[in-house]
Structure 1
Amino acid sequence: MTFRIALPGVVLAAALVLFGSTAWSATGVAFVHGTGKQTDALNDYWTTDMVNSVRQGLSNSANYTVINCDFEQYMWNSQAAGCLAGQLTSFINARGITDLVVLTHSNGGNVMRWILSNPTWDSRYPNIINKTRWVNALAPSSTGTPLAEAVMQGNVFESALGWLLGYQNDAVRMQQPSWMAYYNSSWLLGTSGRPSLPKGFWNVVGTDVRSAIWDGAAYCGGYFNQVGLEITQNWLDSCSDGFLDCSSQNGAGSLWFYDYQVSGDRLSHAQSRRDCHGLDVILRNDL
């Protein structure tokens, strides 16, 4: 049985297994990117610094995979969830993985949640679900974002968001709050009033953006990204990471922690996929 516990002042991950220990398991970690058509997510999305830091928490640091799929599609599309299922299955089989931790970012959480929610959709899903210990969802867009609506309206705001979301594609269309409300009520598990997901879906929530030129925290993940997210934050709640309201990031599954509770700083949407403010160490220790 695997669960998390929260202790006063700190959040810890604990794996307790009846009749055995995870030390006997072949643990692996998969990095699942967000919206976009990725061919080199290691360098273009996560960076080698982030991935190499996190995987040091594995007993065998070679047991990792970085997913490259077309997440400009609807989550159930063969190029999205189908691609993810194929790459996870190949990784599990090739490395003999029996204990899989999945790290998702942004829309990647929706694609992974589709797999967890619909085990009969694809014959590969049940084995993936069975092997998964839990999902660490970094800033997941579980209930969508108003920024997706702005992009789909095709107004001048669209060009300002192109660098962040990409332009009008099915993944952006899907992340409109009204669309996500439908999917959450009918196809996806883990939101309020719906059955629980079969495996833990633990949210890391970014709460603010820092872009002051004198603030050292503004430079991790790229200063340009911080400035852009500071602008888009004006269309969001006061608690947001510049792309997603905190309520969306914690809209499905369970809260693991708000950025300031553990890192002592704030994580923008760009920073929550990078080795910023000690996030990589927290994820590494969780393995």
Structure 2
Amino acid sequence: MPGTEGWGFTDDRGAELGAARVPLRVAAYVRAGAALLDLGVTPVAVYGSGHDGEELDPAKAGGLRAVGVPYLGPGRALGAEALSELRPDVIVDVTYDGKSPYALDEAVAERLGIPLVALSVSGELTLPAILDRFAALAASLTAAPGRSASGAESAVGPVPAAPASESVPAPDLAAAEALLRSVAAGGGVVVLALSGAGTEQVHLARPQAWPELAHLAGLGVRLLDPGPGPGANWLTGDWAGVAELRPDLVLFDEREHATPPYALPSGVRLAPWNPETPPSPAAYARFFRDLAEALAA
């Protein structure tokens, strides 16, 4: 009978996870949960990171709000009792170091005996590789045609997910990439990605440290590197330093904990960027189309 077969998955820490049957109830870090939703797996609940508050950040929510997925607050504040009440069959988080889940204390899951999958979103992987891994996990969690991970019948059924070895972009993503490549080739717009940290401080993204920014560069987008200094992913400076780099377009961190663009020179165009975009073809297709529109403006 579908859904009763054994389930197994090796995550990006090398942890070999398994269960007697395909997990139906998935709890997830919000970024992972939004990606799984795009891929046809509806979480029973999602939790945030240490940057998040008691309300779900709209920039990180993806389609979760629209389908009523509950938000539990920051993952590090979750205890065994709160997770136990959910009765999850599996927990899905992300990892930046290939060793530990980012947003949840793994000991909580261990005490409850719940498998915890951690998929890498670090700069050591390309964006296509990250998308492939989430697609492979979603495919493994698809218990039966027409069913979501919560066990409820879905009107449209799960979105087909490519195996990790295929590396074939979804049609919408391929079209968005082609559009962005065409727009980037037609202009000389210089782009700087950043995250505001108050009126005196700003974090400037190092493009090659971010899979999606490196992918943009591969599509022909002219991304500024902030230059030498401490920090693997960000160079921390002040807003005057942003002006000195003379970007034409600023990709600004739109998450709630980040400061909106502050004291930029006149004439600099703005476009939102979520450094935690859900790792799904649909989410990145939207981002690439929006960026293409901003570049062409």
What TM bracket, shorter-length normalisation? 0.3 to 0.5
Calculate the TM-score normalised by the size of structure 2.
Answer: 0.32
Calculate the TM-score normalised by the size of structure 1.
Answer: 0.33
Q: Which of the pair is proportionally richer in helix?
A: 1
Look at both structures and tell me which one has the larger radius of gyration over its CA atoms.
2
